[in-house]
Structure 1
Amino acid sequence: MFDSIGWAEILIIIVAGLFILGPERLPGAAAWLGRNVRKVREYATGARDQLRNEMGDDFDELRKPLEDLQQLRNFDPRRAVTRHLFDDVDSGNGHTKPNGHTPPPPSTPKRDTPPQPTAGEKSAPFDPDAT
């Protein structure tokens, strides 16, 4: 429940509660909040247990798509696309991509050579440093 709330946020809430409620009423408000959160958790646990008892094996089949949706909540599309396109699959040679593409072998870099004139053509001046 508190996965997205860090210690800094909790400290800010406590300080704000101290200013809003004052030091006299803050402990009572914290106790009230704790009791109510505990009650809500007990109600949720009781409802889940009751559903599990009534549905039996169908409860696990119903829960599976919900767990899949929970995993999508933590889905990072940038990481998934990067992994899909650029990570190698361990298939023996290590060069097959998940999308089935096998990259060509690395070639040696070509040197900039002047173009060769065809017959009857005068060669144009070529400066490889100018490009």
Structure 2
Amino acid sequence: MFDSIGWAEILVLVVAGLFILGPERLPSAAAWLGRNVRKVREYATGAREQLRSEMGDDFEELRKPLQDLQQLRNFDPRRAVTKHLFEDVDTGNGHTKANGHTPPTPAAPPTPAAPPAPAKHEDPTPSAGDKAPFDPDAT
């Protein structure tokens, strides 16, 4: 219950309660608060046990999505993306990224080929009877 409340916050609440209620009523207010917190815990435990006894195995299936939501609450997207993209997983056949991508193996250097034959030079100016080139994707 007090996972997110530290001792400093509790001390501030006690000092505020001391000023608001005064030293005479603070012990009785603290006792009242303790009794009610205990009752709420007992009610929650009783309700959980009653659900577990009535639902049987289905209760665990109901709790599974709630546990998944709890894990999502602690989710750090930056760390997940960094891990997914940049960490290598060794699969035995080379390095595979965590996202399943296997980088290509470097190819052998290309063999020298014969130099290309010189291309014919065509005159780019159209003659009087030729149509102008038309590109439908350019319009």
Q: Provide Cα deviations, 1:64-84, integer angstroms capped at 9, x if missing partner.
A: 111111111111111111111
Structure 1 gaps of 5+ residues are: 106-131
What is the CA distance between 1:100 and its match in structure 2?
Answer: 2.4
Correspondence for 1:69: 69
1:11 is aligned to 11
3-state SS of the aligned residue for 1:96? strand
Residues 23 and 85 of structure 1, relative CA distance in 2, 3 Å threshold: same
Secondary structure of the equivalent of 2:95?
coil
- Which has the larger Rg? 2
Partner of 2:31: 31
**For the residues of structure 1 that align with 2:94 and 2:26, how far apart are their CA atoms?**
61
2:47 maps to 47
Alpha-carbon distance between aligned partners in 1 of 2:3 and 2:42, rounded to the nearest angstrom? 19
Q: Equivalent residue for 2:59?
A: 59
2:20 aligned partner: 20
Output the amino acid matched with 2:50.
Answer: Q
Q: In structure 2, what is the equivalent of residue 108 of structure 1? A: none
Could you say if the C-alpha distance between residues 97 and 45 of structure 1 is closer, same or farther in structure 2, counting changes exceeding 3 Å? same
TM-superposed deviation, 1:24:
1.2
The structure where strand makes up a greater share of residues is 2
Q: Quickly say closer, same or farther: Cα 1:33–1:93, change in 2 above 3 A.
A: farther
Q: Percent identity?
A: 88
- Matched residues in 2 for 1:15 and 1:94: separation? 63
User: Could you say which residue in structure 1 is the equivalent of 2:86?
Assistant: 86
What amino acid does structure 2 have at the position aligned with 1:30?
Answer: A
TM-score by length of 2: 0.68
* Cα offset, 1:90, TM superposition: 3.5
Contact preservation (8 Å) 1:88, 1:94: no
